[in-house]
């Protein structure tokens, strides 16, 4: 009788543990999203927080938010997706953002191996007026990403998420924050799909 109870207990334990082991083996890998920004007034920082919030809604996603000058090489290369945010300075990205992009080579050494290849990239911007160069700023960031063989995506707008902060605007509103959340969500979605695809490729699954 004791042996029978032991057998029943063993069977019950295997039923409970079995699916857990199987699901952990098949669970998607964690997607790392880096959101880096420059901000003096706090406007771009608010958009960065919203981008991160949107990315975190996607399961199996971890998000790091950094001021652009504090990003390390380890964080850059560990990220599956990189989202850069900048205020508009004379219809272009801030000098701090441009210096960070230049550091990809001069400080972090991405070339000649193209170490950012196949990472997902996206951009967001804040500007004082309705037409103050926000699209040009985002396009400049995306162009640098394309030059590094990254996969660029948009969301919340044609080129990324943006916000108008001066003039007739009362500041960043909920619609603009919503566009930033949508950008973050789409970045995490695409980066996760890309990472899963490469993982299957490495395992020989076609």
Give per-residue pLDDT as tens, 86-104: 999 999 999 999 999 999 9
Model pTM score: 0.84
Q: What is the CATH number of the domain that holds 160?
A: 3.40.50.360
Confirm whether 202 is domain-assigned: no
* 34 and 75 Cβ atoms separated by less than 8 Å: yes
Please state, in angstroms and rounded to a whole number, the distance separating the CA atoms of residues 39 and 41. 6
Kindly state the tokens that stand for 156: 């919340």
Each residue's pLDDT tens digit, 99-143: 999 999 999 999 999 999 999 999 999 998 777 799 999 999 999
Each residue's pLDDT tens digit, 43-74: 999 999 999 999 999 999 999 999 999 999 99
pLDDT value, residue 199 = 77
Confirm whether 3 is domain-assigned: no
Confirm whether 15 is domain-assigned: no
Each residue's pLDDT tens digit, 165-183: 887 777 899 999 999 999 9
Q: Structural domain of residue 153, as residue ranges?
A: 30-195
* Rounded (10°) CA dihedral 148, 153, 158, 159: -30
Tell me how many domains the chain contains.
Answer: 1
Whether the pLDDT of residue 6 is over 90: the answer is no
pLDDT value, residue 49 = 98
Please state, in angstroms and rounded to a whole number, the distance separating the CA atoms of residues 105 and 200. 30
Confirm whether 1 is domain-assigned: no
Confirm whether 8 is domain-assigned: no
pLDDT value, residue 14 = 40
Residues near 158 by Cβ (< 8 Å), separated by ≥ 6? 135
| Helical pair 43-56 and 174-202, crossing angle rounded to 10 deg | 50
Confirm whether 179 is domain-assigned: yes
Please state, in angstroms and rounded to a whole number, the distance separating the CA atoms of residues 35 and 134. 18
- pLDDT tier for residue 2 given thresholds of 50, 70 and 90: very low
Confirm whether 14 is domain-assigned: no
Q: How far apart are the first and last CA of the chain?
A: 51
Please state, in angstroms and rounded to a whole number, the distance separating the CA atoms of residues 71 and 199. 26
Please state, in angstroms and rounded to a whole number, the distance separating the CA atoms of residues 123 and 187. 10
Q: 3-state DSSP call for residue 15?
A: helix
* 132 and 180 Cβ atoms separated by less than 8 Å: no
- One-character DSSP codes across 35-75: EEE--SSSHHHHHHHHHHHHHHTSTTEEEEEEEGGG--HHH
pLDDT value, residue 205 = 55
pLDDT value, residue 26 = 65
Confirm whether 91 is domain-assigned: yes
Kindly state the tokens that stand for 135: 């699209």
Whether the pLDDT of residue 23 is over 60: the answer is no
Please state, in angstroms and rounded to a whole number, the distance separating the CA atoms of residues 146 and 143. 5
């Amino acid at each position: 009788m004791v042996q029978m109870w032991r057998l029943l207990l063993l069977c019950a334990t295997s039923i409970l543990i079995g699916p857990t082991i199987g699901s952990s083996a098949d669970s998607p890998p964690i997607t790392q999203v880096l959101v880096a920004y420059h901000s003096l007034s706090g406007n771009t920082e608010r958009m960065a927080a919203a981008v991160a919030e949107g990315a975190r809604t996607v399961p199996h996603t971890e998000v790091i938010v950094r001021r652009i000058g504090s990003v390390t090489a380890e964080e850059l290369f560990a990220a599956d997706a990189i989202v850069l945010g900048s205020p508009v300075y004379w219809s272009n990205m801030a000098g701090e953002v441009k210096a960070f992009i230049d550091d990809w080579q001069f400080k972090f050494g991405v070339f000649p191996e193209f170490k950012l290849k196949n990472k997902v990239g996206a951009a967001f911007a804040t500007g004082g007026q309705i037409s103050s160069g926000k699209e040009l700023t985002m396009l400049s960031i995306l162009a640098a990403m394309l030059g590094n063989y990254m996969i660029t995506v948009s969301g919340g707008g044609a080129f990324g998420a943006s916000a108008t902060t001066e003039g007739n605007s009362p500041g960043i509103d909920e619609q603009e924050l919503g566009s930033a959340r949508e950008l973050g969500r789409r970045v995490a979605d695409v980066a996760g799909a890309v990472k899963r695809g490469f993982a299957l490729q490495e395992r020989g699954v076609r």
